[in-house]
Chains A and B, each alone.
Chain A
Amino acid sequence: MNPLSADHTNSAAIVSARGLRRDFGEGEAAVRALDDVSVDLPKGRFTAIMGPSGSGKSTLMHVLAGLDRPTAGTITIDGTELGPLNDAELTRLRRDKLGFVFQFFNLLPVLTAEENILLPLKLAGREADQERKSTLIDAVGLGDRLSHRPAELSGGQQQRVAIARALLSEPAVVFADEPTGNLDTTSSGEVLALLRRAVDEFGQTVAMVTHDPQAAASADRVLVLVDGRIVSDEPARDADQVQSLMRPSAIS
């Protein structure tokens, strides 16, 4: 079954993957974390990736983001095919075209919130667009916390700083791996609202791995992975619908 139907790829795909396979280990212990996955992430859309633990969500995200190389298959991000790129070129691609938000440990503890936000730009030796910076900082709602170190920020605040960092350079796509996995409901809500705004107001493309149907419901579309395969690809409506997509009956 190939659930990849045409109606999800109508807007231009900014990330496009074909026939992705990722094997770990050898012989008896070999694991196929991704098994012939093809997926397009349309520009300006918010995609949630769901699935049981160990289904390959993180692996898919890592491979799509060029943090890991697939055993087979191709990935194209914003017109660039990742396959032929060497480590330095992949690094530059991540710096300039991608944004990341992880579950834990998103910020460098020695830098202030503001410095963390500016980190990728500074690494590139570029100056921030002042207007975008102040709009973002407003949106993130951390104006008075900019000079604080991560240790002085709450978990939700830290995630918001990470999102601001991911958005500042207007990346082609933002990858978020369980960005709310560590947060309470209120903070989760704030983080999700922020990602939603990024898509709606700034036209960003966002891919988010999550376990939480509530979180997935704020996306435009939900992909469900099981055993390294995409088993469902539906528009997201609400938490209940997402929940139902995850049911074993729906999956099998």
Chain B
Amino acid sequence: MSAVALRNLAARKLRTLLTSLAIVLGVMMVAGTYILTDTIDSSFERIFTQSNQGVDAVVKTKQAVETDDGTVPPFDASVLHRVERSPGVAVAAGVIADPQVSIIDSDGEPIGGMGAPSFGFSTGPERFDPLTYVEGGPPQADAEIVIDKATADAEGFELGDAIEVAGKAEASEYELAGIATLGEVDSFGGATLALLTLPEAQRITGKRGQFDQITIAADEQTTPEQLTASLSDSLPKTVQAETGEEDVQSQREDIGVFLGFLQTALLVFAGVALFVAAFLIFNTFSITVAQRTREFAMLRTLGAGRRQIIAAVVLEALVIGLLASVLGLAAGIGFSPAVGALFGGVGIDLPTSGTIIELRTVIVSLVIGTAIAVLSALLPALRATRVPPVQGLREGAVLETPRERGRRNVAGVVLSALGLAAMLLGLFGVLSPGELWLGIGAIAVFIGVALLSPRLVTPMASVIGRPLERLRGIPGRIARENAIRNPGRTAVTAAALMIGLALVSFVAIFASGLRSSIEGAIDKTIVGDLFIANSDGFSDIPVGVTDAVAEIDGVATVSPTRYTQNEVEGTEGGGYLTLVDPETAPDVLTLDWEQGSQEVLGELGASEAVIDEKWGTDNGFSVGDEFTARTVSGEELELTVSGTFTDTTDYIGDYAASDANAAAYGEERNATSVLVNLAAGSDAAAVRSEIEAAVGERFPTIETQDQQQLKDSIGEQLNTLLGVVYALLFLAVIVSLFGIVNTLALSIHERTRELGLLRAVGTSRSQVRRIVRYEAVITALIGAVLGLALGVVFAVVVSRPLADEGFVLSIPVPTLIALLALAVLAGVLAAIGPARRASRLDVLQALSYE
């Protein structure tokens, strides 16, 4: 008997471990997310604080428009004189601080991953210099440069080397005069730093006669607050003064927008994993509580109250939840750099020095992990104790009456329907915020389908199991029967996997639709032969590229486009638009006209715009109307609508206007892309290599692509993003695998005597393993089929609002088949442990097992 008890305990230990692992993983993601974003935030704060040492106040262009990156255009250098004349100013220096000054490596390619800025700074008075020179010193002449130590180390640059730098003017070479760090901060998270003299920094960034910032130290009698107050009175309205500390905070806030987005995104993935974990706990407790129904019934006949028994079960969940949360928190500390590395791996480098664990991280992690465990165990506990003691004492007491089953099915249908409705209402903006309702709807659908799935298990197991049975004989048959013995159990186990796979397949389907829509739009819109843009895929390139390309033989048309942000009066802020060159644009861009034609584009006046039809409808603008655009430089432009077009992929943005306004939009130096048409009869390949050689020499940040390459590189970017999403969803799938392992382990424990009998009558160990493995595969496939079906439904639903913008849904059949194969593999993997245990059972002990 003690052997039996010990075995029981061992089985319990395994179950406890598996159950808690699910929570550990979920909490790990929650904790890791907070730790990662807190660490990035504090790293940036240190960088900003260090950079602003000795700075009492800064003057910058006033932010006129909410932009995604928070950068502001430069202002006129004459402001410096007015600052210097202000009372309380001891020292003031004009500064260039530009995030698009690339250091070029020995292969002629700009250094740095995507997302990480490549800073170009100008030298100033020593008191403002935040740098520590590890070698050499600040640049003394226009031909000298200082770069950061991380970059110098990575590229093997040494003092005296010639360093090529590219900004908005043509690339130049400088002599490396110093290598520096920013105080204690050793990592900028992939960012590079180039320090030049002020005139040279102004020249290479295309900001002659301008500053990005004026850095000010107050005299001894003036506080920073008094200084900024007096500056604000004396400065033009387009600029603003902030104390050094305020400046650090506002820079942090700009980063904070991005970090907040990152945090939310990662927490969503953590939420998915926890949701799956909840299924697992619910299932585990359902099974073990069912196994203990008789024990509970006996306790109750002995006088234990219902509450006492519920409390006992909940206490168990509480302990598991709490322990798992603590472990998850600890694991989160390791997970945070792993996610950082994941982003780094796809080129998004973020600075992470140290590990910041806020109290909030600890509290949220512990509370969420414990609460999920307790809540998930509550229902099984309630259900088990509802069985009348006398009935519970009988063997094989059924916990669910037919009436309950009927009610559950109805609830499943209702919940699924309500969920879908919530998703649609959220998508079409009836309920807001849309993303929230989309999420709530999806959760409801998942729960609804999970409630319905016990009904689906038997027919699905028959369909899936039949070929197995045909091919694999009796082990396949027994596996299939085992899978449908407790449809509820198999259903919840499968539903956990369903969630992960539904999301994976949804993302795959949606991305595939997005990709084909983008490719379709490129085919239709970009009719130019060549497409020149920054090799990082999104930074600006110098507009000077246009003239350089125009000089090459065989080039017929060169047309720069500028994609930028503004605020249109009466609309939501931060809208995008494209500035085009009307003279050349019709040759390289074809818009999908609703009203108007290519001629309208060709004759676009400085005070005219052609608009996205949908944007116009949403905001009440149509042909002939006027709207007011406020630019990042704070200027206001009155534009008259002269045509409308459909823009499926938001390639143009809300509207297109003439680049005669480039300066007003703060974009005179920049181009987002330059489109090129070749002269009839010229050799495309030859022209391309000419552009790459001659123009690429002068502007090393550019990359020239033909239409196919452009499509490929967009596809690649999409795939990279998909990779990150898959990696994060993978954790949810792992959690659901634990669910399969757990269910199998519990079922095997329950079927010990059957296994003993099977072995006694001649079932070989490998046949026993097969029985377990096939059951796992059947369960996994049920989850996968349900998941893929839901993924398709979600993709169809979510793409509804995009359909009238021309979004074409395309189902990536090979990917879905691969997912099914993956599910089979997952089932096989999950079965390894339980199958081994089942096959190693001692026949005699198993037979005498009570």
Task: List A residues at the B interface (Cβ < 8 Å).
Answer: 62, 67-68, 87-88, 91-92, 94-96, 98, 100, 102, 105-111, 115, 119-120, 122-125, 165
Contacts and interface: CB of A to CB of B under 8 A. Distances in A.
B753 A62 contact: no
B6 to A, nearest CB: 15
Contacts of B847: 102, 105
B464 interface: no
Contact of A95 (B478, B482, B761): B761
B477 interface: yes
Given A107-B757, A110-B482, 12 more contacts: A91-B763, A94-B762, A95-B762, A100-B760, A102-B757, A108-B478, A110-B481, A111-B478, A119-B761, A122-B474, A123-B474, A125-B473
Interface of B: 473-474, 477-478, 481-482, 485, 753-754, 757-765, 767, 843-844, 847
Contact of A111 (B481, B753, B759): B481
Contacts of B843: 67
A67 B760 contact: yes
A109 B474 contact: no
B763 A109 contact: no
B844 A100 contact: no
Contact of A165 (B474, B759, B761, B765): B761
B394 to A, nearest CB: 14
A67 B761 contact: no
A120 B761 contact: yes
Contacts of B473: 122, 125
A109 B763 CA distance: 16
Contacts of A122: 473-474
Contacts of A165: 761
Given A108-B478, A122-B474, A92 B764 contact: yes
Can you list the 5 inter-chain pairs with the closest CB atoms, starting with the nearest? A95-B762, A110-B481, A122-B474, A94-B762, A91-B764
B762 A88 contact: no
Contacts of B844: 62, 67-68
Contacts of A123: 474, 761-764, 767
Contacts of B478: 108, 110-111
Nearest to B480: A110
Name the residue in A68, A120, A123 with the highest tally of chain B Cβ atoms < 10 Å from its Cβ: A123
A102 B765 CA distance: 21
Nearest to B473: A122
B762 A108 contact: no
A125 B763 CA distance: 11
Contact of B758 (A87, A98, A108): A108
A115 B482 CA distance: 15
A91 B753 contact: no
Contact of A120 (B481, B482, B762, B765): B762
Contact of B765 (A62, A88, A105, A107): A88
A246 B482 CA distance: 45
B477 A100 contact: no
Given A105-B753, A115-B477, A110 B763 contact: no
Given A67-B844, A115-B477, A110 B759 contact: no
B765 A94 contact: no
A68 B763 CA distance: 16
A172 to B, nearest CB: 13
A120 B474 CA distance: 10
Nearest to B849: A105
A105 B477 CA distance: 20
11 contacts: A88-B765, A91-B762, A91-B765, A92-B762, A92-B764, A105-B754, A107-B757, A108-B754, A108-B757, A109-B754, A119-B474
B760 A94 contact: yes
A250 B213 CA distance: 114
A98 B477 CA distance: 23
B576 to A, nearest CB: 62
Nearest to A151: B396
A110 B474 contact: no
Name the residue in B485, B753, B757, B758 with the highest tally of chain A Cβ atoms < 10 Å from its Cβ: B757
Contacts of A87: 765
Nearest to A91: B764
Name the residue in A98, A110, A115 with the highest tally of chain B Cβ atoms < 10 Å from its Cβ: A110
A107 B765 CA distance: 19
Contacts of B762: 91-92, 94-96, 98, 120, 123-124
